[in-house]
Amino acid sequence: MPVILPPHWHNANRRITDRNAWLNRRQYMTGGAAALMAGCLPLGRASSTLAELPKRYPYKLPSVSKHATYKAGHPNTPVLTNEQIAASYNNYYEFTTDKGRVWELAKDFETRPWTVHITGKVAKPLQISVDDLLKQMPLEERAYRFRCVEAWSMVVPWTGFPLRKLIERAQPLSSAKYVRLITRNAPQAYPGVRSQPWYPWPYFEGLTIAEATHDLTMLAVGIYGHPLPNQHGAPLRLVVPWKYGFKNIKAISRIELVEEQPRTFWNNIAPAEYDFGGNVRPDVPHLRWSQATDRDIETGTRRPTPMYNGYAEQVASLYPSGPKAS
Ligand SMILES: Nc1nc2c(c(=O)[nH]1)N[C@H]1C(S)=C(S)[C@@H](COP(=O)(O)O)O[C@H]1N2
Ligand SMILES: [Mo]
């Protein structure tokens, strides 16, 4: 599979964490140090299952993170977050609202067979298996800062491809103005769907066609150089780094091109708190907390949240009338 080295602005402004160093740290952690380290993980549990995670991947994705020296890139993506910390602090309400437990509840979620449907205002509706996508799409790795509306953030290397490339294959009609994305409808596989029937499942999100076809917008199939673990949204999830985390829908099974602005899961539930755009705006507080800063999930350090999460240079052109209009 070809690996495309992304432009410098996709990347952290330091070396991506060396994978061997990461593995060595894990080996070291199997001793008495493991218990000590476990206490350091915010909400995470360094149980053997989580520590074993990488060994369970059936195959490897091309990764640049083990050998690439990333050039000085974005000032707001200083350090790559520790993989296990990112893998044990997740929002995925289909499993649970407890961020520290998603990884263990999601362990046995079946992601094969998995078909993605692209329908709606397209000349060529498409049904494609995730395995064919993996074979056919040119995969690349990009380190992005990720910012949840709850004011925490991390920096992780995603493997995937621009959503645009998949949309183009379906040949959108000129009437396609928005893209609607839907998580797999699988109540039997999702304990949180069964225990929280008041939510409008399955999870659904949306973007304008310009946002969906923007170069920064990715469909991710991997993280840290291997396939996505279930808690991160396997087998396929959206990554839009200038928007709040809730826009980054997981376990996508359907992509619809539509004429009208679609509803979204969180906008449906709490329209006063979550708008369709979901753009990172430090100047617009959430009804219940400030968005001016965010907390790095590994270091606990707070940074001032930049406009559009630091991607203003790339995305401001999407919002020519200014952020207020978006
Ligand atoms: N299907 C689905 N996708 C989802 C969510 C969810 O609950 N269900 N949570 C969102 C939120 S609020 C965040 S912050 C991110 C978290 O992604 P991560 O766990 O990979 O860090 O996933 C987003 N995608
Ligand atoms: Mo979030």
Number of domains in the chain: 1
DSSP string for residues in 20-64: HHHHHHHHHHTSTHHHHHHHHSSS----HHHHHGGGG-SS----S
The confidence band for 210, taking pLDDT boundaries of 50, 70 and 90, is very high
pLDDT at 323: 82
Ligand 1 pocket member 93 (CB < 6 A): yes
**Domain assignment present for 175:** yes
pLDDT at 141: 85
**Domain assignment present for 157:** yes
Q: How many residues does the chain have?
A: 326
Ligand 1 pocket member 241 (CB < 6 A): no
Ligand 1 pocket member 232 (CB < 6 A): yes
Q: What is the CATH number of the domain that holds 153?
A: 3.90.420.10
Tell me whether residue 312 is exposed, middle or buried, using C-beta atoms within 10 angstroms of its C-beta: 0 to 12, 13 to 18, 19 or more: middle
**Domain assignment present for 98:** yes
Tokens for 53? 């995670």
pLDDT at 143: 86
The neighbour count for residue 150, using CB atoms within 10 Å, is 17
Whether the Cβ atoms of residue 92 and residue 169 lie closer than 8 Å to each other: no
The confidence band for 53, taking pLDDT boundaries of 50, 70 and 90, is low
Query: What distance in Å separates the CA atoms of residue 44 and residue 260, rounded to the nearest whole number?
Result: 41
- Residue showing tokens 């606990």: 300
Q: Which residue minimizes the CA distance to atom 20 of ligand 1?
A: 232
Q: Which residue minimizes the CA distance to atom 16 of ligand 1?
A: 91
Q: Which residue minimizes the CA distance to atom 21 of ligand 1?
A: 90
What is the average per-residue pLDDT within 77-91? 84
Nearest to 14 by CA among 82, 86, 75, 66: 75
Ligand showing the shortest atom-to-Cα distance for residue 109? 1
Distance 148 CA to ligand 2 centre (A): 4
pLDDT digits (tens, 9 = 90+) for 149-169: 999 999 888 999 999 999 999
Query: What distance in Å separates the CA atoms of residue 77 and residue 9, rounded to the nearest whole number?
Result: 10
For a ligand 1 pocket test, name from 91, 147, 274 the mutation site with the most ligand atoms within 8 angstroms of its C-beta.
91
Is residue 283's pLDDT more than 80?
yes
Is residue 105's pLDDT more than 80?
yes
**Domain assignment present for 86:** yes
The confidence band for 75, taking pLDDT boundaries of 50, 70 and 90, is very low
Ligand 1 pocket member 203 (CB < 6 A): yes
Query: What distance in Å separates the CA atoms of residue 164 and residue 214, rounded to the nearest whole number?
Result: 7
User: Which H or E run contains 115?
Assistant: strand 115-120
Tokens for 149? 């509306």
Which residue range forms the structural domain that includes residue 249?
Answer: 19-318
φ, ψ dihedrals at 143, nearest 5°: -90, 120
**Domain assignment present for 13:** no
Atom of ligand 1 nearest to the CA of 154: 21
Average pLDDT, the chain: 82
pLDDT digits (tens, 9 = 90+) for 134-151: 999 988 888 889 999 999
Q: Which residue has the higher pLDDT, 285 or 32?
A: 285
Is residue 23's pLDDT more than 70?
no
State which of 5-14, 76-85, 240-249 shows the largest mean pLDDT: 240-249
- 3-state secondary structure at position 178: strand
**Domain assignment present for 92:** yes
Q: At what angle do helices 19-29 and 33-40 cross, to 10 degrees?
A: 110
**Domain assignment present for 233:** yes
Residues 6+ positions from 27 with CB-CB distance below 8 Å: none
pLDDT at 52: 56
pLDDT at 152: 97
Alpha-carbon torsion (299, 302, 303, 305), positive or negative: positive
Query: What distance in Å separates the CA atoms of residue 311 and residue 9, rounded to the nearest whole number?
Result: 9
